[in-house]
Chain A
Amino acid sequence: MIEIFQYGFIVRGLEAGILIGLIAPLIGIFLVLRRYSLIADTLSHVSLAGVAVGLLLKINPLWTALGAAALSSVAIERLRTSKKIYGETALSIFLSGSLALAIVIIGLAHGFSVDLFSYLFGSIVTVKQTDVYIILGLGTLVALAIFLFYKELVYIAFDEEAATVSGLPVKVFNTLFVLLAAIMIAISIPIIGILLISALLVLPTITALQLKLSFKMTLFWAEIISVFSIITGIITSFYLNISSGGTIVLIMLFIFGAVLFAKGKIKNSYAK
């Protein structure tokens, strides 16, 4: 067990992973409760176009992914609230449009020296030391924003109309929130991969929701599940030499299934 810490990439992967694991539920719980899960999926596909641009221009793809996700998060929120088109259609325009753009850029560059696969499904081997610093910096920013506006975000998630009447600038908070989600998604790419990010954001929260607890305790358990899955996922993926993103998501799914199963058992034993 100790010997894996001799590998620099494992240590970097765990550092980045634990940071991501801590921040993901802070965004995830609001995404789930506001029925915004599809936005996470869309923004992660937009990030792929960003990654492609970064690889083409030889800039750190984390930055270009961040830029692409942040810009489109604001655009999506505007399009959605303008009510000129249906909310979901706004999302699918961005989702398929950015995928198309990514494919074209990748084609123009005649493939990349870096394995695109690792951006799609996550691979801790590609995590560089600068990535860890970027994740630490931006992750702290996201966590701080959620902490500072926690009570407003909870109120808006529960009852947007009453929050508006109480004088909160709901539109500003909605835009701020999708922007934070975009940052979270961009920095999760190296660990979890573009195609699996929404699972990372959604699964710990919906598992914790099954426990029927207060908001704070739901968030607490989502944190535990998230960080636990990431640590065990990264270590398992190292020993089995498989994708870290896939392993993490499967562990999260397993916990979700186990909680559902245990809940069913408890219900049955009460019924008897």
Chain B
Amino acid sequence: MSVNHQKNIIEIKDVSFSYGNVEVLKNITLDIHQGDYISLIGPNGSGKTTLLKIMLGLIKPRSGQVKLFGQTLRDFNDWSKLGYVPQKAINFDPLFPATVREVVAMGRFGKKGLLKWLNKNDQSFIDDALSNVEMTQYADRLIGNLSSGQQQRVFIARALAGEPEVIFLDEPTVGVDIKTQDEFYSLLTHLNKKLNITLILVSHDVDVVSNEVTEIACLNQTLVYHGDPKKFMKSDYVENFYGKHACSVSHHH
């Protein structure tokens, strides 16, 4: 697959959203191109996860429009192009009786469609997904018995099994130690560079992601910055949002 970095795969236009009377997002306009590795960052409550969920059609914006692959969310039905890695550290049931292989297989269900069983071809995609995240040897282990870093890899594999063009990740490194986190980011770079998958990553960890991603979109109700991460780190935004007042930047001690 050749990557066309000019091609818009997600177009967000004038999107606003509020929870009750609290305005969370205000007039967000943002294009995401094929092959981008973009991080949505911003302080707590800046609306980054909300924006991610709006892009995925999980919540409806109060106003504005989102297009995926050129189609409005209402008309879009090619959901297998999207992979989703939710914020599992918080809402994942560790007692759920499923092996790693069973979890990764779920990523194939949407592609397969209703009333169809997985066949050998599907199993080979599941095998590939497991080997891409280096979890093949854990295939028969229960998901609940793995470390959180390993679980996160399994969720990436689940997303990969559906052959997505773009993967959305919501704070994937929450609750993961530094070493595992580094390995995790090299896996993401591999997916982006080698498998040409567009990545959209919600994170609060500005320092870390700015070294990894190719683009930063900084939110604080409005879109305050969109562009090169290096320039972003030198700008005043970092100081304004994370510096003196809000201390949500995690420095490596």
Partner among A151, A161, A212, A215 whose Cβ is within 8 Å of the Cβ of B109: A151
- Please give me the residue from chain B that is nearest to A209 by CB atom: B97
Asked if B158 is at the interface of the complex by the 8 Å CB criterion, the answer is: yes
Q: Report the tally of A-B residue pairs with Cβ distances under 8 A.
A: 82
Are B115 and A166 in touch, CB under 8 angstroms?
Answer: no
Could you mark each residue 140-165 of chain A with 1 if its beta carbon is under 8 Å from any beta carbon of chain B, else 0?
00000000110110110111011111
Partner among B58, B97, B168 whose Cβ is within 8 Å of the Cβ of A213: B97
What is the interface of chain B, defined by CB distance below 8 A to chain A? 56-58, 77, 79-80, 82, 84, 86, 92-93, 95-99, 102-103, 105-107, 109-112, 114-115, 117-118, 140, 142, 145, 158, 162, 168
For the complex, give the distance between the alpha carbons of A4 and B167 in Å: 62
Residues on A with beta carbons closer than 8 Å to the beta carbon of B142:
212-214
Asked if A188 is at the interface of the complex by the 8 Å CB criterion, the answer is: no
Interface hub of B97, B99, B109, B114 (most chain A Cβ within 10 A): B97
Please list 19 pairs of residues, one from A and one from B, whose beta carbons are closer than 8 Å in the complex, sorted by A's number: A149-B114, A151-B106, A151-B112, A154-B98, A154-B102, A154-B106, A158-B93, A158-B98, A158-B103, A158-B106, A159-B86, A162-B84, A163-B106, A166-B80, A166-B107, A168-B109, A212-B145, A213-B142, A214-B102
For the complex, give the distance between the alpha carbons of A211 and B244 in Å: 52
Interface of A is mostly: helix
Known: A162-B84, A162-B86. A168 touches B110 (CB 8 A): yes
For the complex, give the distance between the alpha carbons of A162 and B22 in Å: 27
Residues on B with beta carbons closer than 8 Å to the beta carbon of A137:
none
Interface hub of B84, B86, B106, B112 (most chain A Cβ within 10 A): B106
B115 shortest CB reach to chain A, Å: 6
Residues on A with beta carbons closer than 8 Å to the beta carbon of B140:
214
Known: A158-B103, A161-B58, A166-B162. A214 touches B77 (CB 8 A): no
Are B109 and A166 in touch, CB under 8 angstroms?
Answer: yes
Say which size band chain A's interface belongs to: 20 to 34
Residues on A with beta carbons closer than 8 Å to the beta carbon of B77:
167
Known: A152-B109, A158-B103, A214-B102. A165 touches B82 (CB 8 A): yes
Residues on B with beta carbons closer than 8 Å to the beta carbon of A215:
97-99, 102
Are B158 and A162 in touch, CB under 8 angstroms?
Answer: yes
B154 shortest CB reach to chain A, Å: 12
Interface hub of B80, B96, B168 (most chain A Cβ within 10 A): B96
Could you mark each residue 155-187 of chain A with 1 if its beta carbon is under 8 Å from any beta carbon of chain B, else 0?
101110111111110000000000000000000
